[in-house]
Chains A and B, each alone.
Chain A
Amino acid sequence: MVKVLVVDDTAFMRKLLKNILFSAGFDIAGEAENGKQAIDLYRELKPDIVTMDIVMPEMNGIDALKEIKKLDPNAKVVMCTAVGQEQMVKMAIKLGAKGYIVKPFQAPKVVEELRKVARI
Protein backbone atom coordinates (compact mmCIF):
# COMPACT_ATOMS: atom_id res chain seq x y z
CA MET A 1 0.00 0.00 0.00
CA VAL A 2 1.17 3.53 -0.78
CA LYS A 3 2.12 5.35 2.44
CA VAL A 4 1.17 9.03 2.61
CA LEU A 5 2.34 11.74 5.00
CA VAL A 6 -0.31 14.47 5.26
CA VAL A 7 0.99 17.97 6.03
CA ASP A 8 -1.41 20.83 6.74
CA ASP A 9 -1.67 23.36 9.55
CA THR A 10 -5.43 22.94 9.96
CA ALA A 11 -6.62 19.82 11.73
CA PHE A 12 -9.81 19.83 9.67
CA MET A 13 -7.93 19.71 6.36
CA ARG A 14 -5.71 16.89 7.63
CA LYS A 15 -8.78 14.91 8.72
CA LEU A 16 -10.44 15.51 5.39
CA LEU A 17 -7.42 14.42 3.37
CA LYS A 18 -6.82 11.38 5.56
CA ASN A 19 -10.43 10.35 5.12
CA ILE A 20 -10.30 10.70 1.33
CA LEU A 21 -6.98 8.86 1.03
CA PHE A 22 -7.84 6.09 3.46
CA SER A 23 -11.15 5.45 1.65
CA ALA A 24 -9.22 5.18 -1.63
CA GLY A 25 -6.87 2.54 -0.24
CA PHE A 26 -3.86 4.67 0.70
CA ASP A 27 -2.08 4.04 3.96
CA ILE A 28 -1.74 7.11 6.20
CA ALA A 29 1.85 7.05 7.43
CA GLY A 30 1.43 10.13 9.60
CA GLU A 31 0.47 13.77 9.76
CA ALA A 32 2.29 17.03 10.42
CA GLU A 33 1.05 20.54 11.08
CA ASN A 34 4.03 22.51 9.79
CA GLY A 35 7.10 22.17 7.59
CA LYS A 36 9.50 21.37 10.41
CA GLN A 37 7.40 18.48 11.67
CA ALA A 38 7.03 17.28 8.09
CA ILE A 39 10.81 17.03 7.65
CA ASP A 40 11.23 15.14 10.93
CA LEU A 41 8.42 12.75 10.08
CA TYR A 42 9.69 12.24 6.54
CA ARG A 43 13.05 11.17 7.97
CA GLU A 44 11.36 8.86 10.46
CA LEU A 45 8.52 7.37 8.42
CA LYS A 46 9.91 7.39 4.87
CA PRO A 47 6.49 7.81 3.24
CA ASP A 48 5.94 7.11 -0.48
CA ILE A 49 4.11 10.43 -0.98
CA VAL A 50 3.77 13.67 0.98
CA THR A 51 0.77 16.00 0.56
CA MET A 52 2.21 19.39 1.49
CA ASP A 53 0.19 22.51 2.30
CA ILE A 54 2.00 25.69 1.24
CA VAL A 55 1.05 28.36 3.77
CA MET A 56 1.89 27.10 7.26
CA PRO A 57 3.41 28.59 10.45
CA GLU A 58 6.96 27.73 11.62
CA MET A 59 8.09 26.56 8.20
CA ASN A 60 6.09 26.85 4.99
CA GLY A 61 5.56 24.07 2.46
CA ILE A 62 8.06 25.41 -0.08
CA ASP A 63 10.92 25.43 2.43
CA ALA A 64 9.90 22.00 3.70
CA LEU A 65 9.88 20.70 0.13
CA LYS A 66 13.44 21.99 -0.40
CA GLU A 67 14.65 20.26 2.77
CA ILE A 68 12.90 17.00 1.98
CA LYS A 69 14.41 17.00 -1.53
CA LYS A 70 17.84 17.47 0.08
CA LEU A 71 17.18 14.45 2.28
CA ASP A 72 15.76 12.37 -0.55
CA PRO A 73 16.03 13.64 -4.15
CA ASN A 74 13.43 11.03 -5.20
CA ALA A 75 10.82 12.21 -2.68
CA LYS A 76 7.32 12.48 -4.15
CA VAL A 77 5.70 15.62 -2.84
CA VAL A 78 2.24 16.81 -3.92
CA MET A 79 1.59 20.46 -3.11
CA CYS A 80 -1.76 21.35 -1.61
CA THR A 81 -2.68 24.91 -2.39
CA ALA A 82 -5.51 27.41 -2.61
CA VAL A 83 -6.84 29.19 -5.70
CA GLY A 84 -4.62 32.22 -6.31
CA GLN A 85 -1.38 30.54 -5.21
CA GLU A 86 -0.49 29.22 -8.66
CA GLN A 87 2.81 31.12 -8.68
CA MET A 88 3.85 29.21 -5.56
CA VAL A 89 2.88 25.97 -7.25
CA LYS A 90 5.06 26.80 -10.25
CA MET A 91 7.97 27.44 -7.90
CA ALA A 92 7.29 24.16 -6.11
CA ILE A 93 7.22 22.24 -9.39
CA LYS A 94 10.60 23.77 -10.29
CA LEU A 95 11.89 22.65 -6.90
CA GLY A 96 10.82 19.09 -7.62
CA ALA A 97 7.20 18.73 -6.46
CA LYS A 98 5.57 15.95 -8.47
CA GLY A 99 2.03 17.32 -8.54
CA TYR A 100 -0.48 19.58 -6.86
CA ILE A 101 -4.08 19.81 -5.75
CA VAL A 102 -6.06 23.02 -5.31
CA LYS A 103 -8.43 23.66 -2.38
CA PRO A 104 -11.36 23.31 -2.26
CA PHE A 105 -10.74 19.91 -3.76
CA GLN A 106 -12.98 17.02 -4.71
CA ALA A 107 -12.13 13.52 -3.57
CA PRO A 108 -11.85 11.88 -7.03
CA LYS A 109 -9.41 14.57 -8.21
CA VAL A 110 -7.21 14.14 -5.15
CA VAL A 111 -7.14 10.37 -5.55
CA GLU A 112 -6.42 10.66 -9.27
CA GLU A 113 -3.50 13.03 -8.68
CA LEU A 114 -1.97 10.90 -5.93
CA ARG A 115 -2.35 7.69 -7.94
CA LYS A 116 -0.66 9.42 -10.87
CA VAL A 117 2.24 10.54 -8.66
CA ALA A 118 2.50 7.11 -7.02
CA ARG A 119 3.07 5.57 -10.46
CA ILE A 120 5.90 7.99 -11.40
Chain B
Amino acid sequence: MPETKLIAEFFEQNWKKVEVLITEKSLVWEKSKIDFREVADLEIVQHVQKECIRIRREKDYYFNFGEKQKQVFRFLAFNIKSDKFAVYFLSPALRGGVLVSNSKWEKGYFSITESAVWFLSPERQIRVPLNTIGSVNKDTRTVGDKSRVVLSLSHMENKEVVTSFILCPETTLELLLDYLRRILEQQKPKEKLSDIEEQILTMVYTGLDSSNIESVLGISTEELNKIYDKFVNLGIAKVVKIRKEIELTPKGVVIVSESAKKLGGGKSG
Protein backbone atom coordinates (compact mmCIF):
# COMPACT_ATOMS: atom_id res chain seq x y z
CA MET B 1 0.00 0.00 0.00
CA PRO B 2 1.65 3.28 -1.00
CA GLU B 3 1.42 6.24 1.38
CA THR B 4 -2.31 6.88 1.52
CA LYS B 5 -4.60 9.48 3.00
CA LEU B 6 -8.06 8.24 3.95
CA ILE B 7 -11.08 9.66 5.66
CA ALA B 8 -12.04 7.29 8.47
CA GLU B 9 -14.21 7.27 11.52
CA PHE B 10 -12.27 7.21 14.80
CA PHE B 11 -13.84 6.39 18.14
CA GLU B 12 -13.05 8.71 21.01
CA GLN B 13 -16.07 8.82 23.33
CA ASN B 14 -18.10 8.82 20.13
CA TRP B 15 -17.44 8.30 16.41
CA LYS B 16 -15.89 11.24 14.59
CA LYS B 17 -14.46 11.73 11.12
CA VAL B 18 -10.68 12.08 10.89
CA GLU B 19 -8.10 12.15 8.15
CA VAL B 20 -5.74 9.20 8.49
CA LEU B 21 -2.35 8.99 6.84
CA ILE B 22 -1.13 5.44 6.36
CA THR B 23 2.56 5.17 5.62
CA GLU B 24 4.81 2.13 5.31
CA LYS B 25 5.52 2.18 9.02
CA SER B 26 2.77 4.02 10.80
CA LEU B 27 -0.75 5.30 10.97
CA VAL B 28 -1.12 9.01 11.70
CA TRP B 29 -4.25 11.01 12.52
CA GLU B 30 -4.76 14.41 14.11
CA LYS B 31 -1.84 14.70 16.55
CA SER B 32 -1.53 10.97 17.13
CA LYS B 33 0.59 8.25 15.59
CA ILE B 34 0.72 4.48 15.88
CA ASP B 35 3.94 2.85 14.80
CA PHE B 36 3.11 -0.60 13.38
CA ARG B 37 5.99 -2.13 15.36
CA GLU B 38 4.14 -1.15 18.55
CA VAL B 39 0.87 -2.84 17.63
CA ALA B 40 0.28 -5.89 19.82
CA ASP B 41 -2.95 -7.06 18.23
CA LEU B 42 -5.43 -6.32 15.53
CA GLU B 43 -9.00 -7.45 15.00
CA ILE B 44 -12.18 -6.60 13.13
CA VAL B 45 -14.83 -6.11 15.81
CA GLN B 46 -18.22 -4.55 16.40
CA HIS B 47 -17.82 -1.44 18.51
CA VAL B 48 -20.62 0.98 19.35
CA GLN B 49 -22.80 -0.18 16.47
CA LYS B 50 -20.06 -0.16 13.83
CA GLU B 51 -17.83 -2.80 12.31
CA CYS B 52 -14.34 -1.44 12.73
CA ILE B 53 -10.68 -2.30 13.13
CA ARG B 54 -9.47 -2.50 16.71
CA ILE B 55 -5.78 -1.73 17.02
CA ARG B 56 -4.28 -2.71 20.34
CA ARG B 57 -1.19 -0.91 21.57
CA GLU B 58 -1.04 0.03 25.24
CA LYS B 59 -4.75 0.76 24.79
CA ASP B 60 -7.37 0.02 22.14
CA TYR B 61 -7.96 2.29 19.13
CA TYR B 62 -11.04 1.88 16.92
CA PHE B 63 -11.16 2.93 13.25
CA ASN B 64 -13.85 2.43 10.66
CA PHE B 65 -12.41 2.75 7.16
CA GLY B 66 -15.70 2.02 5.39
CA GLU B 67 -15.19 0.62 1.90
CA LYS B 68 -11.41 0.53 2.40
CA GLN B 69 -11.66 -1.50 5.61
CA LYS B 70 -10.58 -4.85 4.12
CA GLN B 71 -7.68 -3.29 2.28
CA VAL B 72 -6.43 -1.45 5.37
CA PHE B 73 -6.90 -4.52 7.56
CA ARG B 74 -4.88 -6.65 5.14
CA PHE B 75 -2.10 -4.07 5.07
CA LEU B 76 -2.00 -3.82 8.86
CA ALA B 77 -2.15 -7.60 9.35
CA PHE B 78 0.96 -7.99 7.23
CA ASN B 79 2.80 -5.11 8.88
CA ILE B 80 2.16 -5.21 12.63
CA LYS B 81 4.75 -6.49 15.09
CA SER B 82 4.90 -10.26 14.59
CA ASP B 83 7.06 -13.27 13.84
CA LYS B 84 6.21 -14.37 10.32
CA PHE B 85 7.03 -17.69 8.67
CA ALA B 86 6.54 -18.44 4.99
CA VAL B 87 4.19 -21.42 4.75
CA TYR B 88 1.43 -23.03 2.77
CA PHE B 89 -1.79 -23.37 4.72
CA LEU B 90 -5.16 -25.05 4.39
CA SER B 91 -7.71 -23.32 6.59
CA PRO B 92 -10.24 -24.53 7.47
CA ALA B 93 -9.45 -28.14 6.57
CA LEU B 94 -12.03 -29.62 8.95
CA ARG B 95 -14.96 -27.90 10.60
CA GLY B 96 -16.85 -29.61 13.41
CA GLY B 97 -15.17 -32.86 12.41
CA VAL B 98 -16.23 -32.71 8.77
CA LEU B 99 -13.91 -32.13 5.82
CA VAL B 100 -14.36 -28.69 4.25
CA SER B 101 -14.43 -29.74 0.62
CA ASN B 102 -14.02 -26.29 -0.99
CA SER B 103 -10.97 -25.31 1.06
CA LYS B 104 -7.71 -24.89 -0.86
CA TRP B 105 -4.02 -24.70 0.00
CA GLU B 106 -2.80 -21.09 0.00
CA LYS B 107 0.70 -19.68 -0.14
CA GLY B 108 1.33 -17.11 2.57
CA TYR B 109 2.57 -16.65 6.11
CA PHE B 110 1.92 -18.07 9.54
CA SER B 111 2.26 -15.05 11.79
CA ILE B 112 2.49 -14.89 15.58
CA THR B 113 1.49 -11.79 17.52
CA GLU B 114 1.12 -11.32 21.29
CA SER B 115 -2.37 -12.73 21.57
CA ALA B 116 -3.06 -14.54 18.31
CA VAL B 117 -1.66 -16.53 15.44
CA TRP B 118 -2.57 -15.63 11.87
CA PHE B 119 -2.90 -17.30 8.51
CA LEU B 120 -2.00 -14.58 6.06
CA SER B 121 -2.40 -14.58 2.32
CA PRO B 122 -3.22 -11.76 -0.08
CA GLU B 123 -6.84 -12.99 -0.12
CA ARG B 124 -7.37 -13.86 3.51
CA GLN B 125 -6.12 -12.80 6.92
CA ILE B 126 -7.39 -15.30 9.46
CA ARG B 127 -6.85 -14.42 13.11
CA VAL B 128 -6.82 -17.28 15.62
CA PRO B 129 -6.72 -16.05 19.24
CA LEU B 130 -4.22 -18.04 21.31
CA ASN B 131 -6.83 -18.82 23.96
CA THR B 132 -8.99 -20.62 21.37
CA ILE B 133 -6.28 -23.08 20.31
CA GLY B 134 -7.18 -26.58 21.42
CA SER B 135 -4.47 -28.82 20.01
CA VAL B 136 -1.44 -28.88 17.79
CA ASN B 137 0.11 -31.99 16.28
CA LYS B 138 2.14 -33.31 13.41
CA ASP B 139 0.09 -35.11 10.80
CA THR B 140 0.75 -36.76 7.45
CA ARG B 141 -1.30 -35.45 4.53
CA THR B 142 -1.27 -35.96 0.81
CA VAL B 143 -0.43 -32.59 -0.71
CA GLY B 144 -0.43 -32.67 -4.49
CA ASP B 145 0.67 -36.26 -5.05
CA LYS B 146 3.15 -36.39 -2.23
CA SER B 147 2.73 -37.52 1.33
CA ARG B 148 3.94 -34.62 3.51
CA VAL B 149 4.28 -33.96 7.23
CA VAL B 150 2.15 -30.97 8.17
CA LEU B 151 1.27 -29.14 11.36
CA SER B 152 -2.35 -29.67 12.37
CA LEU B 153 -3.78 -26.84 14.45
CA SER B 154 -7.26 -27.02 15.97
CA HIS B 155 -9.08 -24.09 17.48
CA MET B 156 -12.57 -23.15 18.56
CA GLU B 157 -14.63 -20.88 16.33
CA ASN B 158 -18.32 -20.24 16.90
CA LYS B 159 -18.54 -23.28 19.18
CA GLU B 160 -17.01 -25.55 16.53
CA VAL B 161 -13.57 -27.12 16.35
CA VAL B 162 -11.84 -25.87 13.24
CA THR B 163 -8.69 -27.68 12.09
CA SER B 164 -6.13 -26.09 9.79
CA PHE B 165 -2.98 -27.54 8.25
CA ILE B 166 0.36 -25.82 7.80
CA LEU B 167 2.98 -27.04 5.35
CA CYS B 168 6.47 -25.66 5.84
CA PRO B 169 10.14 -26.75 6.09
CA GLU B 170 10.77 -29.25 8.88
CA THR B 171 12.85 -26.86 11.02
CA THR B 172 10.06 -24.25 10.91
CA LEU B 173 7.49 -26.92 11.67
CA GLU B 174 9.41 -28.08 14.76
CA LEU B 175 9.81 -24.51 15.94
CA LEU B 176 6.10 -23.74 15.53
CA LEU B 177 5.12 -27.03 17.15
CA ASP B 178 7.32 -26.31 20.14
CA TYR B 179 6.03 -22.73 20.48
CA LEU B 180 2.36 -23.69 20.20
CA ARG B 181 2.75 -26.62 22.60
CA ARG B 182 4.24 -24.29 25.19
CA ILE B 183 1.26 -21.96 24.76
CA LEU B 184 -1.12 -24.89 25.21
CA GLU B 185 0.76 -26.08 28.27
CA GLN B 186 0.33 -22.65 29.87
CA GLN B 187 -3.40 -22.75 29.17
CA LYS B 188 -4.00 -26.25 30.54
CA PRO B 189 -5.96 -26.41 33.79
CA LYS B 190 -3.62 -27.10 36.70
CA GLU B 191 -5.87 -29.84 38.02
CA LYS B 192 -6.27 -33.17 36.21
CA LEU B 193 -9.84 -34.15 35.31
CA SER B 194 -11.33 -37.54 36.21
CA ASP B 195 -12.70 -39.88 33.51
CA ILE B 196 -16.28 -38.88 34.25
CA GLU B 197 -15.38 -35.18 34.14
CA GLU B 198 -13.71 -35.66 30.75
CA GLN B 199 -16.81 -37.49 29.52
CA ILE B 200 -19.03 -34.63 30.67
CA LEU B 201 -16.80 -32.13 28.87
CA THR B 202 -17.11 -34.23 25.70
CA MET B 203 -20.88 -34.35 26.03
CA VAL B 204 -21.14 -30.60 26.55
CA TYR B 205 -19.01 -30.10 23.44
CA THR B 206 -21.19 -32.56 21.53
CA GLY B 207 -24.23 -30.47 22.39
CA LEU B 208 -26.01 -32.55 25.01
CA ASP B 209 -27.97 -30.61 27.60
CA SER B 210 -27.82 -31.18 31.34
CA SER B 211 -30.77 -33.55 31.54
CA ASN B 212 -29.35 -35.69 28.75
CA ILE B 213 -25.97 -35.81 30.44
CA GLU B 214 -27.60 -36.84 33.72
CA SER B 215 -29.50 -39.61 31.99
CA VAL B 216 -26.51 -40.89 29.96
CA LEU B 217 -24.23 -41.02 33.00
CA GLY B 218 -26.89 -41.84 35.60
CA ILE B 219 -25.89 -38.97 37.89
CA SER B 220 -28.00 -36.47 39.82
CA THR B 221 -28.47 -32.78 39.05
CA GLU B 222 -26.54 -31.94 42.23
CA GLU B 223 -23.57 -34.08 41.19
CA LEU B 224 -23.56 -32.56 37.72
CA ASN B 225 -23.82 -29.02 39.08
CA LYS B 226 -20.81 -29.67 41.33
CA ILE B 227 -18.78 -30.77 38.31
CA TYR B 228 -19.99 -27.78 36.28
CA ASP B 229 -18.85 -25.48 39.12
CA LYS B 230 -15.43 -27.11 38.97
CA PHE B 231 -15.23 -26.50 35.20
CA VAL B 232 -16.20 -22.87 35.67
CA ASN B 233 -13.62 -22.41 38.45
CA LEU B 234 -10.94 -23.96 36.23
CA GLY B 235 -11.89 -21.53 33.46
CA ILE B 236 -12.70 -24.32 30.98
CA ALA B 237 -16.42 -23.56 30.79
CA LYS B 238 -18.81 -20.72 31.46
CA VAL B 239 -22.41 -20.61 32.64
CA VAL B 240 -24.76 -19.63 29.82
CA LYS B 241 -28.11 -20.65 31.24
CA ILE B 242 -29.52 -21.52 34.66
CA ARG B 243 -32.38 -23.98 34.44
CA LYS B 244 -35.31 -23.62 36.86
CA GLU B 245 -37.02 -26.63 38.45
CA ILE B 246 -40.51 -26.00 39.86
CA GLU B 247 -43.25 -27.84 41.68
CA LEU B 248 -46.93 -26.96 41.49
CA THR B 249 -48.83 -25.02 44.14
CA PRO B 250 -52.40 -26.17 44.91
CA LYS B 251 -53.62 -23.59 42.36
CA GLY B 252 -51.46 -25.21 39.71
CA VAL B 253 -52.70 -28.68 40.62
CA VAL B 254 -56.31 -27.47 40.16
CA ILE B 255 -55.49 -26.31 36.63
CA VAL B 256 -53.92 -29.68 35.80
CA SER B 257 -56.96 -31.50 37.17
CA GLU B 258 -59.31 -29.34 35.08
CA SER B 259 -57.15 -29.91 32.04
CA ALA B 260 -57.20 -33.68 32.59
CA LYS B 261 -61.01 -33.58 32.75
CA LYS B 262 -61.11 -31.78 29.42
CA LEU B 263 -58.79 -34.35 27.85
CA GLY B 264 -60.79 -37.18 29.36
CA GLY B 265 -64.01 -35.79 27.96
CA GLY B 266 -62.70 -35.50 24.42
CA LYS B 267 -63.33 -37.84 21.51
CA SER B 268 -60.17 -39.81 22.16
CA GLY B 269 -60.97 -40.28 25.87
Evaluate contact between A104 and B207: CB separation under 8 angstroms. Answer: no
- In the complex, whether B140 has a CB less than 8 A from a CB of chain A is yes
Q: Count of chain A residues with Cβ under 8 Å from any Cβ of B?
A: 21
Shortest C-beta distance, B142 to chain A (Å), equals 8
Chain A residue nearest to B159 (CB atoms) is A106
Residues of B in contact with A (beta carbons under 8 Å apart): 94, 96-98, 135, 137, 139-141, 152, 154, 159-161, 163, 199, 202-203, 205-208, 212, 215-216
Q: How far is the CA of A19 from the CA of B203 in the complex (A)?
A: 10
Contacts between chains A and B (CB distance < 8 A), count: 62
Among A20, A102, A104, the residue within 8 A (CB) of B98 is A102
Evaluate contact between A106 and B94: CB separation under 8 angstroms. Answer: no
Q: How far is the CA of A102 from the CA of B161 in the complex (A)?
A: 11
Q: How far is the CA of A15 from the CA of B94 in the complex (A)?
A: 24
Q: List CB contacts (< 8 Å) of A16-52 with chain B.
A: 16, 19-20, 23
Q: Which of A1-9, A55-63, A66-74, A83-91 contacts B (4 or more CB under 8 A)?
A: A83-91
Evaluate contact between B163 and A108: CB separation under 8 angstroms. Answer: no
Among B137, B152, B202, B212, the residue within 8 A (CB) of A104 is B202
Residues of A in contact with B (beta carbons under 8 Å apart): 12, 15-16, 19-20, 23, 83-84, 86-87, 101-109, 112-113
Q: How far is the CA of A29 from the CA of B135 in the complex (A)?
A: 35
Can you report 26 A-B residue pairs in the complex whose CB atoms are below 8 A from each other? A12-B202, A16-B208, A20-B207, A20-B208, A83-B135, A83-B137, A83-B139, A83-B163, A87-B140, A101-B97, A101-B98, A102-B98, A103-B97, A104-B161, A105-B206, A106-B96, A106-B97, A106-B159, A106-B160, A106-B205, A106-B206, A107-B208, A108-B207, A109-B96, A112-B98, A113-B98
Evaluate contact between A104 and B163: CB separation under 8 angstroms. Answer: no
Q: How far is the CA of A10 from the CA of B105 in the complex (A)?
A: 35
Evaluate contact between A104 and B97: CB separation under 8 angstroms. Answer: yes
Evaluate contact between A15 and B137: CB separation under 8 angstroms. Answer: no
When A12-B199, A19-B216 are in contact, do A107 and B139 touch as well, CB less than 8 Å?
no
Among B135, B154, B206, B215, the residue within 8 A (CB) of A20 is B206
Chain B residues with CB below 8 A from A20, complex form: 206-208
Shortest C-beta distance, B96 to chain A (Å), equals 4
Chain A residues with CB below 8 A from B159, complex form: 106
Chain B residues with CB below 8 A from A15, complex form: 216
Chain A residues with CB below 8 A from B202, complex form: 12, 16, 104
When A12-B199, A19-B212, A106-B207 are in contact, do A84 and B97 touch as well, CB less than 8 Å?
no
